[in-house]
Structure 1
């Protein structure tokens, strides 16, 4: 798989990556993160390595001439805009999670404009985690908002990995997903406060 070599692009453009986590991630999980730069996916792939992380992207992005081929090449999972597309999205994501892999989702739904704060989270990533019975792990990327450093000006990217959030089996799927989303929001706020 060429995902890790592709993440070396970060080194080529003069960007170092530091990963801060209490312990390695065990088992399948949904990785949720802030999203402020096109290189965010590569940074998270590098941070999670040697675990394999499959990211998701809106199906319309696959129609972009060059970007679409790159997304397909790296196994990115399309999020369909109709019922059939959504069923296929859930089939693929659950297959990867059942295989013990990581699935990466940016729960804001689109790239944010302010690296210091996140937009309100959308429930899809948390509904996926509840349906698959896997934890959600919040990650905060710090530094990507001012990347594209030149070769002679090295930038640093920090990836802060939060605590796993496990779905509550005593709750309905709807309420369990909303509870996980609230916990993730609280972790993002705390990570943002401690690591601006």
Structure 2
């Protein structure tokens, strides 16, 4: 086993067996739909984003290791950088136009049958009850790499550590609601354009909206349930 794989395996073990009980006791009030994460196979995990703790909370309750796309700002802080590296997260250079390295990382991870975590909004929403407009990266990855998408709704994260705050609340709790995988296989073949990407992205955001209770006000298609 390669060294980075060993580090990821060890950190995953630590997260599950040491950090998980700690995190669940302090912050996780409720988890539903854990059975919706298949035991094997590549999938994209898509969830709403309000806190630095989002990926940590989900990673602690997930039955499999999840590799999230993480903004470069996480790597500027020594402590956060160590956590990002140890848990096998994927750095995203937002200001870099050439995304070849990022795309190669995504291709490698999904090609190995791993779980890729993405926050479709791209950054933390500053609103307690509303989500930001999502980017189409999630649908492009799903189509290009022929994988399906698992929607996740997080509740309570804004109260634990909202954007622009450094004060962590140990009195508030969160909920994690995991939806059934969204089958987008009918879109894997044929021509792809912005219309198709937007349709899939909005379909995912509709599910996240229902799971999280956070309003998504950016629909251009009818996704009535």
Q: Distance in 1 between matches of 2:115 and 2:11?
A: 16
The equivalent of 1:123 in structure 2 is 136
In the alignment, structure 2 segments of 5+ residues that lack a partner are 1-9, 161-167, 216-225
In the alignment, structure 1 segments of 5+ residues that lack a partner are none
Query: RMSD across aligned C-alpha pairs, in angstroms?
Result: 2.5
Q: Which has the higher contact order (CA 8 A, sep 6+)?
A: 1
Whether 1:185 and 2:205 are equivalent positions in the alignment is yes
Q: Distance in 1 between matches of 2:129 and 2:176?
A: 14
The equivalent of 2:4 in structure 1 is none
Q: Distance in 2 between matches of 1:22 and 1:171?
A: 33
Whether 1:114 and 2:119 are equivalent positions in the alignment is no
How many corresponding residue pairs? 189
Whether 1:2 and 2:21 are equivalent positions in the alignment is no
Whether 1:57 and 2:77 are equivalent positions in the alignment is no
Whether 1:38 and 2:57 are equivalent positions in the alignment is no
Deviation at residue 71 of structure 1 after TM alignment = 1.6
Q: 1:120 to 1:15 in 2, by over 3 A?
A: same
Q: 1:29 to 1:141 in 2, by over 3 A?
A: same
Q: Distance in 1 between matches of 2:169 and 2:74?
A: 25
Moved more, 174-183 or 86-95: 174-183
Q: Distance in 2 between matches of 1:18 and 1:110?
A: 24
Q: TM-score, normalised by structure 1?
A: 0.83
Contact 1:117/1:192 (8 A) holds in 2: no
